[in-house]
Amino acid sequence: MKKIKRLFTSGGVAALSSIEGFKPCKKLKTLYNCDMKYHRKKLAFTLAETLITLGVIGVVAALTIPTLISKYNEMVTITELRKTYSELSQAIKLSETVNGDFREWEYSSSVVEARTFAEKYIMPYLSRSYKRCTNNKCYLNNKCWKKPNGDLATDVSCSLLNSYIYNNKTISFRTINSSCTSQGITFCTPIKYVEITVDINGDRGPSIMGKDVFNFTLFNYTYKTGAWSTSSVCPNGEHYGLHLGSIAGYWGGYCRNLEDMFSGNPGNCKIDGSGYDCGLAIEKNGWKIPDQYPIKF
C-alpha cells in the first residue's frame, strides 16, 4: 500500500493508469478507482455462476424439504393422537360421574345397542356438538377406513360401525359382549369391551389406519381365570381400561415390547396388516414414530 501511495504522490499516476480499467480519483487523498463501470464489471455474477448457485439451492431443497414436511406431519399426527386419547379418557371419567363405573355399563354386540352405548356413555361427554354419520360415507366417502397398504378394510367391524362426526374428526364404535354361553364354555368370565376408532383428520383423508386413523379399546375385564389364557405378561391387569390398540393387544400384547407390535403378538402394525396396533406402537416408543413404522408421513 505504501508503494502505491509513493507512486501516486511521486507522479506514478500515469503508471497506474496504464492498468486496464483503472481511473484515479483526483479529488480524494486515498487512491481509488473511480470508474464505476470497472466496479460493476468486477462485482457482478455471470449467468453461469447464477445458474450454478440456483442449481445447488434446488438440489439441497429437494433433499431436505420432503424430510422436513414428513417430520412436521409426524409431529402433527402425534399431537392430535395424544389429544384424542386425552379427550376420550376425560369423557369416560366424566361419564362415570353420571353413569357409574364403566365396568357396569351396558355392553352388547347389537348394532342398535352399540349406538345406544355411544350416545349414552361417550358422545355427550366428548363433544357438545356431534352428529351421526348417516350416509355410510364417514371415511373419505367410504363406510370404512383403509388398511396400511391402501386397500379398503373389509373386516366385520366395518359392517357393525356406529359413526359420528365431532370436532372435525370421525369416531366409530363397536361394542362386544362375548358371553360364556356363546362360547360354549361352562366356566369363564364374560369379555366385554368397546372398539373405538378415530379418524383424526375427519373427512380430509387419507383415512388410513395407522396414518390418520387409530384404534382404541375400552376393556372392562381384567381376566385372570376362565377359558381365556391368563396373561403372564400382564399379571396385574395393565391392559384394563382405555388403551390404544386392538383387542389382540390385550391378550398380553399390550404388555409386550415394541417389536411385538410389528411381528409376533399382536404383530399387525405392518404394511399388509390391519394396522390396529400402530397407535400402540407409537405410544410404546415414547410418543415418537418408530424407525420400523410401516407408514410414511
Structural domain span for residue 15: 2-44
Q: Read off φ and ψ for residue 99, nearest 5 degrees.
A: -105, 5
pLDDT tens sequence across 94-107: 999 999 988 888 88
Is 61 part of a structural domain of the chain? no
Grid coordinates given for 226:
376362565
Question: Do 22 and 97 sit in the same domain of this protein?
Answer: no
Please say whether the beta carbons of 250 and 219 come within 8 A. yes
Is 171 part of a structural domain of the chain? yes
Is 84 part of a structural domain of the chain? yes
Question: Do 214 and 161 sit in the same domain of this protein?
Answer: yes
Q: Which of 18-22, 167-171, 196-200 has the lowest mean pLDDT?
A: 18-22
Question: Do 25 and 164 sit in the same domain of this protein?
Answer: no
Distance (Å) of CA 154 to CA 70, 105, 274: 29, 29, 10
Is 230 part of a structural domain of the chain? yes
Q: What is the mean pLDDT of the chain?
A: 78
Q: How high is the pLDDT of residue 143?
A: 75
Question: Do 14 and 97 sit in the same domain of this protein?
Answer: no
Question: Do 114 and 23 sit in the same domain of this protein?
Answer: no
Question: Do 243 and 161 sit in the same domain of this protein?
Answer: yes
What is the share, in percent, of the chain residues with pLDDT greater than 90? 32
pLDDT tens sequence across 67-89: 888 889 999 999 999 999 999 99
Question: Do 138 and 9 sit in the same domain of this protein?
Answer: no
pLDDT tens sequence across 27-69: 555 555 555 555 555 566 788 878 888 888 888 877 787 888 8
Question: Do 125 and 215 sit in the same domain of this protein?
Answer: yes
Looking at residue 236, its amino acid is: N
What is the share, in percent, of the chain residues with pLDDT greater than 70? 69
Grid coordinates given for 100:
357409574
Alpha-carbon span 87 to 85, nearest angstrom: 6
Is 297 part of a structural domain of the chain? no
Is 138 part of a structural domain of the chain? yes
Question: Do 159 and 226 sit in the same domain of this protein?
Answer: yes
Question: Do 108 and 26 sit in the same domain of this protein?
Answer: no
Question: Do 196 and 277 sit in the same domain of this protein?
Answer: yes
Q: How high is the pLDDT of residue 15?
A: 54
Q: How high is the pLDDT of residue 212?
A: 95
Q: How high is the pLDDT of residue 246?
A: 84
Q: How high is the pLDDT of residue 103?
A: 80
Is 49 part of a structural domain of the chain? no
E-only strand ranges, the chain: 130-132, 162-166, 169-178, 191-199, 213-219, 241-244
Is 50 part of a structural domain of the chain? no
Distance (Å) of CA 292 to CA 3, 81, 150, 168, 286: 69, 19, 18, 30, 14
Number of domains in the chain: 2
Q: How high is the pLDDT of residue 37?
A: 53
In this structure, how many other beta carbons lie within 10 angstroms of the beta carbon of residue 124?
15
Question: Do 117 and 261 sit in the same domain of this protein?
Answer: yes
